[in-house]
Amino acid sequence: MRYQNKHDYTGNCSKQGERAEDMFASLVFDLGGIATPSTIGEQFKGVDYHVDLSGTVDVKSLGNRKNKTLSLEEYNKVWIELKNVQGRKGWVYNEADFIAFERKTEFLVVKRRGLVDLIDNIVNLSDMVLHPSECMYNVYSRIGRKDLLTRVTETDIKTCEHYTLPKQ
């Protein structure tokens, strides 16, 4: 098993992440590419794989949402980490060239720098809200943690340079 954050009490987040990463690497292989796993040091810099077809990639799993019944509108909202639970820069500001968001039927692979520009243009970074349901285009921090999160839509993300990898 890969790294498990101390705030991941059950280990489910780590397991979901590893499952999505393995699936992503398999899809790259099926396309004739090679996804070389990163070192633990690179993982702390937001890189899960070196992909010969595109560059470095940070894979984001669908997480627990895949087991819940959500409205299409709610499903299409995507969490973006601006600061991590230790208060350091979040994955959107790390070193990967691309972020691969697992979706129901595909991976949506987005240029990370384009995503940063999107966040800068559509998120009100000075509007801190108290509840996660209010953080669309605003920022939110969980009680007892130093993280800073926002949400945008999948449609917003698709305005950035991207490609898709269909799941099989």
Mean pLDDT of 5-24: 71
pLDDT for 6 = 57
Specify the higher pLDDT residue, 55 or 19. 55
pLDDT at residue 2 above 60?
A: no
How far apart are alpha carbons 101 and 58 in whole angstroms?
9
What digits encode the pLDDT tens for the residues 27-84? 999 888 999 998 988 988 889 989 987 899 999 998 655 455 667 777 789 999 999 9
Domain spans of the chain?
12-166
pLDDT band at 1 (very low <50, low <70, confident <90, very high): very low
What digits encode the pLDDT tens for the residues 102-137? 998 999 999 999 999 999 999 999 999 999 999 999
Q: Which are the contacts of 2, defined by CB distance < 8 A and separation ≥ 6?
A: 14, 17, 18, 21, 43
Q: What is the pTM of this model?
A: 0.83
